[in-house]
Amino acid sequence: MLPTNSCSSPTMSSPELKKVTVSLPKRLDRSSERWHHYLTIDLIWYVLGYTLFHPWTSWILVLCLRAQYTKYHAPEMKIAMAWAMLMSAIGIFHIFSERLAFGSPREVDLSDEVIVITGGVDGLGGLLAETYGMRNANVAVLDTKRVDDEEAEEKGVLYYQCDVSDAKQVEAVAAEIVEDLGPPTILINNAGIAHTKSILDTTAEEVEQTFRTNTLSHFTTLRIFLPYMLREGRGTIVTVSSVLGHLGAANLSAYSASKAALLALHHSLRAELAQNPAAQEIKTILVTPGQMSTKMFVGVTTPSNFLAPVISPAEIAKSLIRMIEKGDSGELAVPLYAQYIQILGALPVGMQAIIRRWSGVDTAIAKAGLVKKDTSEKQ
Q: What is the pLDDT of residue 11?
A: 41
Q: What are phi and psi of 121, to 5 degrees?
A: -95, -45
pLDDT value of residue 20: 42
Domain boundaries, the chain: 50-102, 110-367
Q: DSSP letters along 334-367, please? A: -SHHHHSGGGGGGS-HHHHHHHHHHHTTTTHHHH
Residue 187 CA to residue 36 CA, distance in Å, equals: 38
- Determine the pLDDT at residue 29: 47
Would residue 19 show up in a list of annotated catalytic residues for this protein?
no
- Least Cα distance to 285 among 128, 166, 131, 156 occurs for 128
Which listed residue (259, 318, 337, 378) is catalytic?
A: 259
CA dist 365 and 1 (Å) reads 86
pLDDT in tens, 5-64: 444 444 444 445 445 454 545 544 455 677 777 889 999 999 999 999 999 999 999 999
pLDDT of 300 reads 86
Question: 159, 160, 255, 337: which is the annotated catalytic residue?
Answer: 255
- pLDDT at residue number 1: 45
Model confidence pTM above 0.75: yes
The correct CATH number of 110-367 out of 3.10.20.30, 3.20.20.120, 3.40.50.1360, 3.40.50.720 is 3.40.50.720
Question: Is 282 within 8 Å of 236 (Cβ atoms)?
Answer: yes
Cβ atoms within 10 Å of 303's Cβ, excluding its own = 14
Q: Are 113 and 156 in contact (CB under 8 A)?
A: no
Please report the pLDDT score of residue 32 as a whole number. 63
Q: How far is CA 365 from CA 40, 204, 260, 327, 374, in A?
A: 23, 21, 19, 37, 16
Cα angle 20-22-23, degrees, rounded to a multiple of 5 = 155
Q: What pLDDT, on a 0 to 100 scale, did the predictor assign at position 13?
A: 44
Question: Mind listing the pLDDT tens digit of every residue in the chain (379 residues)?
Answer: 444 444 444 444 444 544 545 454 554 445 567 777 788 999 999 999 999 999 999 999 999 999 999 999 999 999 999 999 999 999 999 999 999 999 999 999 999 999 999 999 999 999 999 999 999 999 999 999 999 999 999 999 999 999 999 999 999 999 999 999 999 999 999 999 999 999 999 999 999 999 999 999 999 999 999 999 999 999 999 999 999 999 999 999 999 999 999 999 999 999 999 999 999 999 999 999 999 988 888 888 888 888 889 999 999 999 999 999 999 999 999 999 999 999 998 999 999 999 999 989 999 899 888 898 765 544 4
197 is catalytic: no
